[in-house]
Structure 1
Amino acid sequence: ESSAEAAGDEGKMAATVLRSLSSLGRPLLCFRLKQWQPDVEWAEQYSGAVMYPSVITEKWVPPPWNDKDPPAEKEVSNLTINFGPQHPAAHGVLRLVMELSGESVKKCDPHIGLLHRGTEKLIEYKTYLQALPYFDRLDYVSMMCNEQAYSLAVEKLLNIQAPPRAQWIRVLYGEMTRILNHIMGVTTHALDIGAMTPLFWMFEEREKMFEFYERVSGARMHAAYVRPGGVHQDMPLGLMDDIYEWCKNFSIRLDEVEEMLTNNRIWRNRTVGIGVIGAEDALNYGFSGVMLRGSGIKWNLRKSQPYDKYDEVDFDVAVGSNGDCYDRYLCRVEEMRQSLRIMHQCLNKMPAGEIKVDDAKIAPPKRSEMKVRYAWICILFKGAGLLVNF
């Protein structure tokens, strides 16, 4: 009622003003000559009209200042992306369909099998020795470890055992391969986060280890060196001295990498509390290696089921407590230190002797020996009159 009375008063006031102006005979302004001017009757028809408030007019929204309608409200949803199978940040062939909310991975669907080459089917038509090179390619950053696992399986089937020197050489190069693997894992992880320097530092050390590979087998990566019954050939002179010097210098380089990463604020923000896997989940998912030990479970095959000469070396098992990326990083760094410790023991305890079993059906002898013995057999048979038309 009050608003209606106010509107009525305003209408009456406008009519009164118009009457007073017309009675005075005041002329219209020059700039209003062509405009329509309200008269008294027109103003009186709106006296007493109530325009506001109203149920309908309360919902009216004034037009925008730029004469454009405001955008409709957008529905925010998570982003789904394909990570791999060929991706600059994917260190290996793997496809992950991930659902992201900012930087958090809410859902992940891994697609495996992209490295399937039919190895089991291929080696059905090969001998035990001919099948060996296939195992270098299964994990191309742990070459000799794959060869060692395959050779141990074949030796168990044949009920044979490699000579002691061959077993010590296997342990030595197995730990060297473990360092190769952990260097790749730690430095590429740091590279993905933004630290490029550790990659250059540690890949220089990897090149030195590839040189040790090449000096003992002739190949930088796919060595085919560890074979059923022992190893392919003995280590050349001077190699053990060079490995010892490298072990002393590598521990210093490892300290430099830890100084750059371990207490770095950016590194800790990106790894602490990220990718947490509890001990129970790790067991249920079938984790092994660093993934299992990083979740707090002290399990290492070299301790629980020692093979070759691992029962004669002394080392500690690195175990995490939180199961996150930071714990797994610390486990890998500590395992590299323990591998250096094992390599020192291998160099100190390396015995003399044969490097393969004395059974030509399992480990073929050298070609030079075969030629010499074959000629000797021919001479023997000729002298005995047993070989006429050879």
Structure 2
Amino acid sequence: MSGTPEQGSTAGDGRGPAAAGAVWGDEERLTGEVEVRQTGTKLEPRHEYTVAAGEWQNLPDAVEDDLMVINMGPQHPSTHGVLRMVLTLDGETVVDNQPVIGYLHTGIEKNLEYRPWTLGVTFVTRMDYLSPLFNELGYCLAVEKLLGIVDEVPERANAIRVALCELNRISSHMVWLATSGMELGSTTAMIFGFRERETILNLLEEVTGLRMNHAYIRPGGLSMDVPDNFAERVHKVLAHLETKINEFEDLLTANPIWIERNKGVGILTAQQCYDVGATGPILRSAGVSHDLRKAAPYCGYEQYDFDVAVTDTADAYGRYLVRIQEMRESLKIVRQAVDGLPGGPVMVADKKVAWPAQLALGPDGLGNAKDYISKIMGESMEALIHHFKIVTEGFVVPEGQVYVPVESPRGELGYHVTSNGTNKPYRVRVRDPSFIHIGTLPALTHGLLIADVIAAVASLDPVMGGVDR
């Protein structure tokens, strides 16, 4: 007989009995028994997993004990980037979850070893792309500590750093609310979250020239001062955001569907958080009041009045409550920073670190202002040469190594920076909280249904740009 399937048969995919000359007639479809005719060999009848394969109770008993392994990702809309999870399932229940990373590897840490210290800011700001200012701040604080100029950074620069980072924290949590809502079927939350985030990105663009990846925070201070109407613009944005956060709570906090999908899902106890090093909203949702802005203040955080948001549910719903409260506390911090904004410069006076002229945006929001260019070109040839050398070659940092952590929207973001006494880093090692939290997935999702895996992963708020680096 020819190896071509006859009319009324179903061709296989090369792996099942329909391959290489299988004939599936109507009788075989109904009974689930398949006869393969090839070189005179007849196989034993077997059951097929098809809709016409008969009653499920007639399947072999061994099938009831089989586990199934499937891939979720890396191209999946609910994995917050190119994250792959290899799920072992017993029916629809997760028995094991092995995360696979590396799909977004950028080599940023290695690239830093070939760039002057200041240029490193343009690399680190692109790792966790939802909170770029925190990467800039952590890196610059580490460089400043190596240089021994932490106390020389102007108060105005520190106040602006705090204000912008807290606005960045709110915008990051807005994205989390938007994406988490979308994954659980709340398109309204998605629209609200991305819409309100725009108000913050527009403000950051006015200050830094870019909506994201700002490269605004520099070793020794800031690249430029804020606009004259900064305080007025910030207060307008704060008033707007305060009402919108209330809308978020009205939409989700008491929503029975939101509660059902998040309460009791993705539980990580305080001890489990300690075991793996989980920090941020995950640790605080387990009842631990740990926040680096309080525990190890930097940039003058000890001067600000705010509370650490804590719950004790240890689940996805608790992480939602923590992030909502954190946004409210960030509003308080920004308001205090702007109201008490001191005058003065925004860069250290050390000419070996600071650029000779202060950067400024042009009237179109792009490029450099005319006054800035005139100052560089018009002072003296010596000043121009110095400017050229410090921009292209950078400054030398004394030998040593430091570890500096900051409290990012996702938890402890740490920079371990090593200098060998040259104008480039010897090694920069980043402790990204998303990388740590991805390691909690086996414990976080064990025993959950597949649908609840989505909510559990979303509650971690991982950003794969920070995981792979």
TM above 0.5, yes or no, is yes
Matched, 1:92 2:78: no
Deviation string 1:335-361 (CA, Å, 9 cap, x unpaired) is 000000101101111011100011222
Residue identity matched to 1:180: S
2 CA distance for matches of 1:307 and 1:377? 34
TM-aligned CA distance change 1:369 to 1:132, over 3 Å = same
> Which residue does the alignment assign to 2:59?
73
- SS of aligned partner of 1:131: helix
2 CA distance for matches of 1:255 and 1:223? 29
2 CA distance for matches of 1:100 and 1:188? 25
Residue identity matched to 1:73: L
Which of 226, 245, 267 does residue 276 from structure 1 map onto? 267
2 CA distance for matches of 1:282 and 1:116? 26
2 CA distance for matches of 1:136 and 1:232? 14
Matched, 1:253 2:244: yes
- SS of aligned partner of 1:280: helix
Deviation string 1:49-94 (CA, Å, 9 cap, x unpaired) is xxxxxxxxxxxxxxxxxxx986732523444321211212222221
Which of 291, 315, 326 does residue 335 from structure 1 map onto? 326
2 CA distance for matches of 1:275 and 1:159? 43
- SS of aligned partner of 1:110: strand
Deviation of the 1:243 alpha carbon: 1.1
Which of 290, 293, 296 does residue 299 from structure 1 map onto? 290
Deviation string 1:276-304 (CA, Å, 9 cap, x unpaired) is 11110110011011111111111100001
- SS of aligned partner of 2:86: strand
Deviation string 1:91-116 (CA, Å, 9 cap, x unpaired) is 22211111234554321001123333
2 CA distance for matches of 1:69 and 1:239? 71
TM-aligned CA distance change 1:70 to 1:138, over 3 Å = closer
1 CA distance for matches of 2:376 and 2:264? 61
Deviation of the 1:377 alpha carbon: 7.5
2 CA distance for matches of 1:141 and 1:358? 32
Structure 2, unmatched stretches of 5+, are 1-52, 358-372, 385-469
1 CA distance for matches of 2:259 and 2:116? 50
2 CA distance for matches of 1:201 and 1:263? 17
2 CA distance for matches of 1:216 and 1:307? 22
1 CA distance for matches of 2:304 and 2:161? 13
1 CA distance for matches of 2:113 and 2:54? 71
> Which residue does the alignment assign to 2:101?
112
TM-aligned CA distance change 1:199 to 1:126, over 3 Å = same
- SS of aligned partner of 2:88: strand
Following TM superposition, the consecutive aligned residue runs of length 4 or more in structure 1 with deviations greater than 4 angstroms are 68-71, 375-378
> Which residue does the alignment assign to 1:362?
353
Deviation string 1:114-141 (CA, Å, 9 cap, x unpaired) is 3332222211111011111111111000
> Which residue does the alignment assign to 1:213?
204
> Which residue does the alignment assign to 1:10?
none
Structure 1, unmatched stretches of 5+, are 1-67, 379-390
TM-aligned CA distance change 1:246 to 1:377, over 3 Å = closer
Matched, 1:175 2:166: yes
Matched, 1:373 2:400: no
> Which residue does the alignment assign to 1:144?
133
2 CA distance for matches of 1:274 and 1:215? 40
Residue identity matched to 1:126: R
Which of 341, 346, 358 does residue 350 from structure 1 map onto? 341
Larger Cα-atom Rg: 1
1 CA distance for matches of 2:94 and 2:69? 10
> Which residue does the alignment assign to 2:120?
131
1 CA distance for matches of 2:185 and 2:333? 32
2 CA distance for matches of 1:106 and 1:70? 27
1 CA distance for matches of 2:178 and 2:91? 25
Stretch moving more, 81-90 or 250-259: 81-90
2 CA distance for matches of 1:93 and 1:215? 31
1 CA distance for matches of 2:185 and 2:120? 40
Deviation string 1:170-229 (CA, Å, 9 cap, x unpaired) is 000010111111111122111111101111112111111111111111111111001111
Maintained 8 Å contact 2:356/2:383: no
- SS of aligned partner of 2:118: coil
TM-aligned CA distance change 1:266 to 1:226, over 3 Å = same
TM-aligned CA distance change 1:100 to 1:119, over 3 Å = same
Residue identity matched to 2:379: R
> Which residue does the alignment assign to 1:234?
225
Stretch moving more, 123-132 or 145-154: 123-132
Q: Which has the higher helix share?
A: 1
Residue identity matched to 2:98: D
Deviation of the 1:150 alpha carbon: 0.5
Which of 283, 293, 305 does residue 314 from structure 1 map onto? 305
2 CA distance for matches of 1:219 and 1:129? 18
2 CA distance for matches of 1:268 and 1:126? 48
Which structure's relative contact order is higher, taking Cα pairs within 8 Å and 6+ residues apart? 2
Which of 179, 182, 199 does residue 190 from structure 2 map onto? 199
1 CA distance for matches of 2:55 and 2:250? 54
User: How many residues are treated as equivalent by the alignment?
Assistant: 311
> Which residue does the alignment assign to 2:407?
none
Maintained 8 Å contact 2:177/2:193: no
> Which residue does the alignment assign to 2:411?
none
Stretch moving more, 318-327 or 94-103: 94-103
Residue identity matched to 1:111: V
Residue identity matched to 2:108: T
